[in-house]
Amino acid sequence: MFSLTDIAILLALSQLVTISLSFAFFNPGFEGRLISFLSFCLGCLVLGDFSRVADSTLFSYLLFRLGTLTPFILWYLAFRLFTDNEKLIRPVWIPVLYFVLARAIGVPLYSATLTNSTLYFMLIYVIPQLIMVSYSCLAIWRAIQGYRADLVEERRRFRVIFVISVGVFLAIRALNGFFTFADPFLDNFSLFSRTPVPPYVFPIYVFLIGLVFNLSVFRVSDRTLELLTDLAPVSRPQPSPPHEPEPGPNHKLMTRLLETVVEQRLYSQHGLTITSLAEALGVQEYRLRKLINRELNFKNFNQFLNSYRLTEASSRLAAETTSISTIALDVGFVSLSSFNTAFKTRFGMTPTEYRTRHRSD
């Protein structure tokens, strides 16, 4: 007879299998496959607590090894969904590799009778758990970080859902696991004699999240589904800035926008936000976001401003002898490093290379 935890696990698996198959076969794209793999790993994490599986040490071990990859996939998914024109630096994968090796190799070899067993326990349990929690927090921070500058309404809403969902996941699973690993050091404290959250809570939560997600997939707009399954590469070139408004229902607002941003060089103002720009134009913020996103094809407000900043900077680099750092700050960038990164993304070369080439031409 199944326990309450087993029933909750079966219900959670039914939703995760639906998500995994749906995004694997019917919603192609890298993000779709990533969501499918996330569902698979989350299913392994849930299934590891199933009573029939727990009897098999090897099978349970393999399930948990795959399941513990979930926070890292969440972090990478957050980067893919919520970041525009930015590349990951390779060192961020080093803690992930350490986590995988520590758990895959170190855990089977651990014994409390080993010399320096406390240090060994810290290396293979505590530090990896801290890495897992850190990457879950990074996923949340990635979703929060660009919320104000995000011009895609569907993605803004999804950021809120993502933060809440991953936050609850972090509270229930990752921190709960940390208390479990702390048990050997806290035998005298009854508070830590068992995990703070009952075992059936997590699969019930996964079932509810999966059910809501599956129901919403059938109701979301094409733009939302495209956002989740078919994003363009992260390093794609930025759109070029328009100089003349196209005829259309938003012609007057577009004209005012370009006059304010270009003629008054508002793009060079440090700390300019879409809120302050909307106030300057006397228009609702959501309407301005929609205009820049739908009409000008920018996903991010900083990306929109940088298009004008980089256009002016490239002209000045070719025509002036002013230092690169002075030009970068004068056109609106807050640091030379951010200017160099944005410039290379736009032109395929560094500002120094650009100046040398155009001077020689």
Residues 324-359 have pLDDT tens digits of 999 999 999 999 998 998 898 888 899 999 998 887
Query: Which ranges of 48-145 does DSSP label H, i.e. alpha helix?
Result: 51-54, 57-67, 70-82, 94-101, 107-109, 117-121, 127-145
Token pair 């302050």: residue: 276
Q: What pLDDT sits at residue 182?
A: 54
Q: What pLDDT sits at residue 193?
A: 44
What tens digit of pLDDT does each residue of 206-226 get?
Answer: 999 998 888 876 665 555 556
pTM: 0.81
Q: What pLDDT sits at residue 42?
A: 93
Q: What pLDDT sits at residue 175?
A: 62
Q: What pLDDT sits at residue 259?
A: 86
- Cα 273 to chain centroid distance, Å, stands at 22
Q: What pLDDT sits at residue 71?
A: 92
* Ranges of each domain in the chain: 4-229, 251-360
CB distance 324 to 336 below 8 Å: yes
At 341, list the tokens.
């990164």
Report residues of the chain scoring pLDDT below 70. 1, 28, 54, 110-116, 174-196, 217-249, 360-361
CA distance 199 to 219: 32
Of 3.40.1260.10, 1.10.10.60, 1.10.390.10, 2.40.50.140, which CATH number belongs to 251-360?
1.10.10.60
Angle (CA) 94-98-101 rounded to 5° is 135
Q: What pLDDT sits at residue 309?
A: 93
Q: What pLDDT sits at residue 54?
A: 67
Q: What pLDDT sits at residue 278?
A: 92
Integer-rounded Cα Rg, in Å, for the chain is 25
